[in-house]
Amino acid sequence: MHEFIKHDFQSGTSTTGQDNNSRQDSSQQFSQESNPESGQELRILRDLLQLLPAGITVQDERGEFILVNEAAAAQLQLAAGASRPTAPADERHAANLETLRSGCPVVLEETLTCGAVRHVFLTSHRPVQIAGRSLLISASTDISEQKAFEDQLFRSAYYDELTGLPTRRVIEHRVNGLIRDEQQGHFALAFLDVDNFKHINDYYGHVIGDALLVELSKRLGHALRGTDILSRISGDEFLLLLNPINSDREVAEFIHVMQERLKAPFFIDQSEIFASTSIGVSLYPLHGRSYKALRQNADIAMYRVKNNGKGSAAFFDASMEREALARMKIEQSLRLAILEKRFCCAFQPKVDIRTQEVKGIEALVRLRDDEGVIQAPGTFIDLAVELGLIDELTLLVLAEIVKSIDLINDTFGPNATISINVAAKQAANSEFMRTFARALEDTGYARRFMIEVTEDAFITKSHFQDEILPILRNIGVGISIDDFGIGYSSLSALADITADEIKIDRSFITDIHKRPRSQGILRAIESLSEALGMTVIAEGIESYEELTYLQAATKIRFAQGYYFAKPIFLEDLKPATPVASETRASLAARPAQENRQSYSRASGFRR
């Protein structure tokens, strides 16, 4: 036990260390003999003080300790060996004396660092008058665990757990503070979105996707000034505050350098990954005088970049706002159309180019706007996927087909397959695909359906091939790879894909008779597909020359396109008419000027 000055509770005097042990003992003996109960109470009181978990000390007018319990002794010893105390010992001593003279209680928080361990103590100092003497009673509690928990809560609220960057709350607070500052000049707010991050996440997995975000945030944060802030506000979205700025040219130059830095590949877990960002920028006060307006306008500018090809930057301008309002109108119209079921189906035949038979039909969804005008899917499908409305839309298409199955059978024949498109995002959603599979089975003729998905659904690390495909196979639903050749596919990827048919994208078919390189690619796809037992469908046939080339130079049997028929709406379908003759003219005899003819049963297709 360390030698501290101890107080004689009976007499109010002080004795120092071992030199005064005899006086202390005699004093205690006298007090016990004169009043045994009082002496026993003092011993109990001293024992209680020693056992208290809080550190208790009493100091006199000179700052000398006259009472220290065991917890306080341990804390003082810790403070003596601490490498980084909040304040030096002499400063703490002077502060305690000042508190004693002022007569006002004080509560202080002190941090002590011993090696890798951080201790935090909450100490309450209270000046008192006892027996005519001024004393400072101090009580100190170890709140290290509480502070660690508070720090954890603070970091989770204000700092991103993955990247360590500030959250949106921090940057919003900082921007609002700059706006309130009347002396504040100009600053820029940039909205950054990682391009194709979903594909990276699906293909490489979420672990590598997260690692990419960490490395990317380091590059984005490189060369930022102390007054700049980079914040991660959601999965693959960042906000960058550049403050102060002198001109938009300065901002443009900095962002250009930042994007050039991102062009170098990221090497993560033996994978070489390329990433880029689309960036929209708003300037204060030119593009807004509130955080909400600046962020929204930067977001609008970023979407302009996304729509124009990604990987670059743009400053906000008024025309973008008009585009955003138009997009919002489309979004509202889309939600209302789904609510009111204002969608309709059109069907385009898949034709045997040698026998003219209709092998199957593809169901194509169309939207009737408020004025009854038919809208092509290019105006709303991507938006439906983005807004999470595509699942409901797909189920509406299935319901429309089931409702009209008799008319479909009468027009195209009861053996024609019916293809329904499923977006890659849907194919990766196990919950939806299981629901969709049950809906297909409930129709009673699941074997007539063909699900068309892009090759992304197979080659990315989703659950489609392993979990969903067996379910569809079990109920007899066929699988078609749509738009093959324009995604991230390769011929070698076909070896790992289990599908019934491949639809070659029309970009390979257009003017195929004039393009030797496309002809070579087409032959390679055809040969490999034949070896794997997959049917090949040529999409987008629009001319007699394209058809003639396929008939003469390939083994491809099936095709679809405007040369055979435009998509046909349900209300335009007519009951079947008897086939007048089995010796109708073949499609190959059709003159080129009859291209893009509308479909009817009299056009020469056989069921």
Here the CATH number for the domain that contains residue 277 is 3.30.70.270
The predicted structure's pLDDT at residue 23: 37
Answer yes or no: do 150 and 279 share one domain. Answer: no
Please tell me the total count of domains within the chain.
Answer: 3
**Bridging pattern class, strands 106-114 and 478-484:** unpaired
The predicted structure's pLDDT at residue 584: 34
Residue 300 DSSP SS3:
helix
Answer yes or no: do 366 and 414 share one domain. Answer: yes
29 part of a folded domain: no
In total, the chain counts a number of residues equal to: 607
Answer yes or no: do 210 and 143 share one domain. Answer: no
Q: Which of 520, 516, 559, 563 is nearest to 536 (CA)?
A: 559
- The answer to whether 86 touches 123, Cβ cutoff 8 Å, is no
Cα 478 from Cα 599, distance rounded (Å) = 25
Cα 171 to Cα 153, 174, 314, 435, distances in angstroms? 18, 5, 21, 41
The last residue of a domain, from among 116, 142, 158? 158
| Alpha helix (H) residue ranges in 263-316 | 291-307
Q: Which structural domain, as residue segments, surrounds residue 367?
A: 330-572
Phi, psi (degrees; rounded to nearest 5) at 110: -125, 135
Distance from the Cα of residue 360 to its chain's centroid: 39
- The answer to whether 192 touches 239, Cβ cutoff 8 Å, is yes
What tokens appear for 330 in the block?
Answer: 């489309």
The last residue of a domain, from among 100, 123, 158? 158
The predicted structure's pLDDT at residue 490: 57
The predicted structure's pLDDT at residue 86: 61
Provide the CATH number for the domain around residue 402.
Answer: 3.20.20.450
448 part of a folded domain: yes
The predicted structure's pLDDT at residue 17: 39
Phi, psi (degrees; rounded to nearest 5) at 10: -80, -45
Cα 394 from Cα 218, distance rounded (Å) = 41
The predicted structure's pLDDT at residue 536: 93
The last residue of a domain, from among 275, 292, 316? 316
The predicted structure's pLDDT at residue 231: 96
What tokens appear for 590 in the block?
Answer: 């059709």
Answer yes or no: do 436 and 542 share one domain. Answer: yes
Answer yes or no: do 67 and 178 share one domain. Answer: no
pTM of the full predicted structure? 0.55
pLDDT digits (tens, 9 = 90+) for 5-41: 334 333 333 333 334 343 344 344 444 445 667 778 8
The predicted structure's pLDDT at residue 443: 93
582 part of a folded domain: no
The predicted structure's pLDDT at residue 336: 85
Answer yes or no: do 250 and 276 share one domain. Answer: yes
Cα 123 from Cα 114, distance rounded (Å) = 19
Cα 295 from Cα 307, distance rounded (Å) = 19
383 part of a folded domain: yes
Please report where in the chains the tokens 């757990």 appear, as a residue: 161
607 part of a folded domain: no
What tokens appear for 255 in the block?
Answer: 């962002």
Answer yes or no: do 133 and 213 share one domain. Answer: no
Answer yes or no: do 267 and 146 share one domain. Answer: no
Provide the CATH number for the domain around residue 117.
Answer: 3.30.450.20
Type of residue numbered 359: K
Opening angle at CA 333, ends 237 and 342, nearest 5: 130
Give the H or E element holding residue 268: strand 266-268
Answer yes or no: do 276 and 367 share one domain. Answer: no
Answer yes or no: do 175 and 138 share one domain. Answer: no
Answer yes or no: do 513 and 417 share one domain. Answer: yes
Answer yes or no: do 247 and 132 share one domain. Answer: no
601 part of a folded domain: no
99 part of a folded domain: yes
| Alpha helix (H) residue ranges in 18-85 | 21-34, 36-51, 70-81
Q: Which residues of the chain have pLDDT under 50?
A: 1-33, 576-606
Cα 564 from Cα 488, distance rounded (Å) = 30
